[in-house]
Amino acid sequence: MPHDLAAFGSQLQVVTGSEAYLIRLKTPRVITSERNVPKFNLTYAKIASAKAEPGQRLDWWDEMTPGLCLRVSERGPTAWMLRYHSKHGGQPRFKFGDPRFMDLKDARTEAWRLKGDIAAGKEPVAMAAAAEAAQAAAAKKTFAGLLNAYEEACAIGEWTPKNKLKRPQTIAHEQYLTERFIRPILGQLPVEDVTRAEIKALLRAMKAKGIGSTTNRVRGIIRQAFNWAISEELVAFNPAMGFSPSHKMEPRQRIWSDAELKRLWPVLREPVNLKNADGKAVHVSRAVAIALQLCAILLNRRIEVAGMRVEELNLDTATWLIPRERMKGGKPLQVALPPHAIELIREAMALAKGDDEVQPSPVFPSRHDKTIPLKPMSLTHALALLRTCIAVDGAHIHDLRRTGSTLMTSERLRIAPHIRSAVLGHTYDGGGGAMVSSVHYDVNDYMTDKRLALEAWENLLLTIVGERAPAVASANP
């Protein structure tokens, strides 16, 4: 209820509506003296010059207002506080003001107001804690609060809907989509008000702006968050279920043609003096170009190549062990490195080291910090720039992986599908056996077959782009 306060010596006048009454302040409940600490009749001049010795912290007690304390550090005054006897025991201190924004007069007035609350049984520390708890509880009841709890459950591994931990990259991407699309519209709504109609309205608004497949990903995040909430018995049903996807997903069929690969390879080999169709200069570093070449030769995803580290490589045995954290399937992958891929990796390592005495761990380090690897999006951006120089439309970096995968099992190479799947890091059994045999009873990594397959693909690719004579041997005659 709104009320006005006015201090008169040891009494506090409280005016509520048409009624006014006095509270006799029980000053013994507030500390009136402090032993072995500075006591001052605080003045504006003293406060302006207040400063502690380096590493020290002082409490200056105001003789005019019992219990009022000015906290002083080596930087000067830092806080106004009130110390009082709690009815629950102890002598808590309540920080209520910043001396930069609250002067002495206002601090004394506020201290008397707080003492009035204390005399009336309203302890400021307890009330502040209760208010904070209430605010936190209210926040949890909003959809933003539910999203926070869901994201934390994913991050610490408590929520694994597919029986596997979400990769940090996946969590980061989900958080990006959540911050951009979900929280601004649905975040402040109470959880019970996030209805199917609200979700569909959000997705329709996104689609009206030309946002396609991302609408399905946004809906997926909302659906997963509610599934987690159901598992925690926070809600009874999932409003993101029971309606069709907003965007019809069409599997990509795009592959790079031989002619397009022939145009791409020279600009990867020597990315210098490049210009787009408008005559503007295009700049792509040789290191990034090598990473793109490795994506084409090894058929790995951009995140796997961009994150390559020296300690993952054994160039003597021509192998590269990708840790499970960077693999989409959550399992490590042993890659058999063909000869030209090794040459490219050695070149990239030399570029990364430069004039340094120590070889950086990332094979493709960031320009800004050699201790961290290149961001995968850098490869996507670079290829998009290069495509403008060679007049290739609609071909993306992942299409290089699809191109190699398609040609491996084509008549040009005739590699068995299950070996192709092993190269790609997929789980597959195309040899007539049951899927359960592949998943649970086959721990082979088919390294010999993978090596033959990747060497055959590398040879075909380099033949297509004109770096080798046209003589392709099948990996599976």
Half-sphere exposure of 61 (CA within 13 A, CB side): 16
What is the domain range of residue 85? 4-133
Scanning 187-244, the segments in alpha helix (DSSP H) are 196-208, 213-231
pLDDT at 290: 97
* Cα 143 to Cα 139, 186, 234, distances in angstroms: 8, 7, 11
Nearest CA to 402 out of 233, 254, 292, 195 is that of 254
Confidence check: pLDDT of 449 > 90: yes
Number of H helices, E strands in the chain: 17, 13
Instruction: Work out whether strand 19-24 and strand 11-16 pair parallel, antiparallel, or are unpaired.
Output: antiparallel
DSSP run (H or E) holding 5 = strand 4-8
Q: Read off the pLDDT of each residue in 376-405 and give the average, rounded to a whole number.
A: 93
Q: Kindly state whether residues 22 and 149 are assigned to the same domain.
A: no
Does the CA dihedral 407-408-410-412 come out positive or negative? positive
296-333 pLDDT, tens digit per residue, is: 999 999 999 999 999 999 999 999 999 988 888 888 99
In a domain, 252, yes or no: no
Query: In this structure, what DSSP letter does residue 96 have?
Result: E
In a domain, 391, yes or no: yes
Q: Kindly state whether residues 269 and 310 are assigned to the same domain.
A: yes
Q: Which of 127-131, 227-231, 271-275, 468-472 has the lowest mean pLDDT?
A: 468-472
pLDDT at 135: 59
* Domain termination site, one of 231, 249, 284: 231
Percent above pLDDT 90 for the chain: 57
In a domain, 360, yes or no: yes
pLDDT at 73: 92
In a domain, 469, yes or no: no
List own/partner pairs for 275-281 with CB under 8 A and 24 or more apart: 275/389, 276/385, 276/388, 276/389, 277/388, 277/389, 277/391
Q: Kindly state whether residues 294 and 432 are assigned to the same domain.
A: yes
pLDDT at 89: 80
Q: Kindly state whether residues 126 and 148 are assigned to the same domain.
A: no
pLDDT at 17: 47
331-365 pLDDT, tens digit per residue, is: 899 999 999 999 999 999 999 999 888 999 999 99
**Most confident listed range (12-16, 251-255, 259-263):** 259-263
Residue entry with tokens 């219990």: 67
Q: Tell me how many domains the chain contains.
A: 3
Half-sphere exposure of 278 (CA within 13 A, CB side): 4
Contact between 373 and 306 under an 8 Å Cβ cutoff? The reply is: yes
* Domain termination site, one of 82, 102, 133: 133
Percent above pLDDT 70 for the chain: 84
One-character DSSP codes across 336-369: E--HHHHHHHHHHHHHHHTT-SS--SBSSB-SS-
Q: Read off the pLDDT of each residue in 388-416 and give the average, rounded to a whole number.
A: 94
Residue entry with tokens 């910043």: 98
Higher-confidence residue of 296 and 124: namely 296
Which CATH number belongs to the domain containing residue 227 in this structure?
1.10.150.130
The residues with which 19 forms a beta bridge, in sequence order, are 16
pLDDT band at 158 (very low <50, low <70, confident <90, very high): confident
* CA atoms of 434 and 421, how far apart (whole Å): 15
pLDDT at 442: 53
Confidence check: pLDDT of 387 > 50: yes
134-155 pLDDT, tens digit per residue, is: 655 655 689 999 999 999 999 8
Confidence check: pLDDT of 468 > 60: yes
Confidence check: pLDDT of 19 > 80: no
Residue entry with tokens 């000015």: 70
Q: Kindly state whether residues 26 and 99 are assigned to the same domain.
A: yes
Q: Kindly state whether residues 290 and 379 are assigned to the same domain.
A: yes
Scanning 285-441, the segments in alpha helix (DSSP H) are 286-298, 302-306, 339-353, 376-390, 397-408, 417-424, 435-440
Confidence check: pLDDT of 371 > 90: yes
Contact between 85 and 95 under an 8 Å Cβ cutoff? The reply is: no
pLDDT at 471: 62
* Domain termination site, one of 107, 133, 159: 133
Mean pLDDT of the residues in the chain: 85
Confidence check: pLDDT of 215 > 90: yes
Query: In this structure, what DSSP letter does residue 53 have?
Result: P
In a domain, 223, yes or no: yes
Cα angle 37, 40, 44 (rounded to 5 degrees) comes to 130
* CA atoms of 237 and 196, how far apart (whole Å): 11
Q: What are phi and psi of 239, to 5 degrees?
A: -75, -10
187 CB-contact burial (10 Å; exposed 0-12 / middle 13-18 / buried 19+): middle
pLDDT band at 428 (very low <50, low <70, confident <90, very high): low
pLDDT at 21: 45
In a domain, 241, yes or no: no
Which CATH number belongs to the domain containing residue 43 in this structure?
3.30.160.390
Q: Which of 97-106, 207-216, 246-255, 295-304 has the lowest mean pLDDT?
A: 246-255
Three-state DSSP at 61 gives strand
In a domain, 470, yes or no: no
pLDDT band at 430 (very low <50, low <70, confident <90, very high): low
pLDDT at 138: 56
pLDDT at 23: 45
One-character DSSP codes across 138-199: HHHTBHHHHHHHHHHHHHTTS--TTSSPPPHHHHHHHHHHIIIIIHHHHTTSBGGG--HHHH
pLDDT band at 195 (very low <50, low <70, confident <90, very high): very high
Which CATH number belongs to the domain containing residue 406 in this structure?
1.10.443.10
pLDDT at 10: 42
Q: Read off the pLDDT of each residue in 364-379 and give the average, rounded to a whole number.
A: 93
pLDDT at 444: 57
Confidence check: pLDDT of 164 > 90: no
